[in-house]
Amino acid sequence: NLYEDPNHPPGAKYSTHNAVQDYIKGGCPSDKIVLGIPAYGRSFEGSNGLYSNFAKPTKGSWVAGNDGKGVWDYKVLPLPGATEIYDEKLGATYSYDPTSKIFTSYEGPKSLAQKLNYIKKYNLGGTMFWSGDADAKPSSNRSLITQVYNTFGRANMAFENNNLNYPTSQYANIRAGAVTTVDSVNSTASVTSSPVAPVTSTAPGAVTTVDSVNSTASVTSSPAAPVTSNTPEISAGAGDQCKGNKNVCYWPLTSQTVPFSQARCKLYVSLIWCP
C-alpha cells in the first residue's frame, strides 16, 4: 500500500510513503530511491477478507516443498472466481474470493498509476520489478512493465551500461554487458527512470471493484534456461549452502528449493544440487 491505513488493527503499520520519506529525511537524494514493484501476489487461505484471521497457504505459482506456497505470478491474478478491489485512499490492490476464502494482495494497474504519480511528485529514481517474467504479456492492458514504460516514455528510460558479470545469461545484452536498446525494452527491461517534473497525486476517493477475469494462463513459472550449454560444477562449499536440504535443487539466493531434476538444476548458475 502506498499510504498507511488509519483503520489498520493495532500493531506495526507500514507504507511506501513512510519508507520513502524516512529515506529522504535521512539525507538520501530522492533520485537515488527506486520503488520496487512486485510482479507477484501473496495469498492467504481460510480468510474472511481484509484484516481477518487466515490459515497457512497451500497453493501458489511456485510450490516446491514448503517454499513458494501463497506466492502467485501477477499474470494469473486475480485468481478465477476472485473480485479485484482497488482502494484509492491507500493506493492498494487486492482480491478476494468468498467461496475459496482466498485473499490475495498484489499490485494492480490502478494502484501502480498512483505510485507512478508519486514517483513524479517526489522526483524519485524510477521503478524496478521482480520478476519480469511474472508480468502480464506486454500487449495486455494489465502489463505493469508496459504501463510504466508508457507513463514515463522512451526519453526517461534508463539506458546505462549493465554492471553485471553474467556471461551465461540468456539475454545477449546482459552477457555482453552492453547498453540496453529501446527495441528490447518491452521484452527485457525491468528498470525505468522517472521524469523530473513533479505532478500532484490524485485525491483519495472511494473504493472501487473490478470483476476478475478468468485467467487461462499457466500458474507455473520457472527460470528460462540459459543459451549456453556449459554445465557449472558444484562448488566445494555447496553442502554448506544447502542448509540441510538433501537430494534436491536449491536456490541459495532465495533459500528456496526448486522442483528440477539434477540434470536440469545444473543448467543454472544460480542453482545448486544438494546431494
What is the CATH classification number for the domain harbouring 25? 3.10.50.10
* Partner residues linked to 146 by β-bridges: none
CA distances from 88 to 151, 178, 234 (A): 19, 40, 49
77 and 161 inside one domain: yes
Does the pLDDT at position 180 exceed 60? Answer: no
Among the listed ranges 18-27, 29-38, 158-167, 212-221, which one has the minimum average pLDDT value? Answer: 212-221
Does the pLDDT at position 236 exceed 80? Answer: no
Q: What are 103's three cell numbers?
A: 485473499
202 and 88 inside one domain: yes
Whole-number average pLDDT of the chain: 77
Does the pLDDT at position 198 exceed 60? Answer: no
* Partner residues linked to 84 by β-bridges: 95, 210
Q: What are 86's three cell numbers?
A: 482497488
Among the listed residues 177, 201, 221, the one whose alpha carbon sits nearest the alpha carbon of residue 72: 221
pLDDT, tens only, 131-146: 888 999 999 999 999 9
Q: What is the mean pLDDT of residues 154-163?
A: 73
- DSSP string for 92-154: EEEEEETTTTEEEEE--HHHHHHHHHHHHHTT--EEEEE-GGGSPPTTSTT-HHHHHHHHH-G
Share of the chain above pLDDT 90, in %: 46
Residue 221 lies in a domain: no
| CA atoms of 79 and 119, how far apart (whole Å) | 29
* CB within 8 Å of 187: residues ≥ 6 apart: 138
Are 137 and 228 a contacting pair, CB within 8 Å? no
Are 17 and 115 a contacting pair, CB within 8 Å? no
What pLDDT band is residue 224 in, cutting at 50, 70 and 90?
A: very low
Q: What are 12's three cell numbers?
A: 506495526
135 and 244 inside one domain: no
53 and 178 inside one domain: yes
Residue 267 lies in a domain: yes
Among the listed residues 156, 155, 136, the one whose alpha carbon sits nearest the alpha carbon of residue 146: 136
Last residue of a domain, one of 166, 192, 211: 211
| CA atoms of 209 and 96, how far apart (whole Å) | 11
91 and 158 inside one domain: yes
How is residue 16 annotated by DSSP?
A: H
Are 244 and 220 a contacting pair, CB within 8 Å? no
Residue 242 lies in a domain: yes
Domain that holds residue 245: 238-274
CA distances from 136 to 50, 66, 146, 255, 271 (A): 25, 26, 9, 26, 26
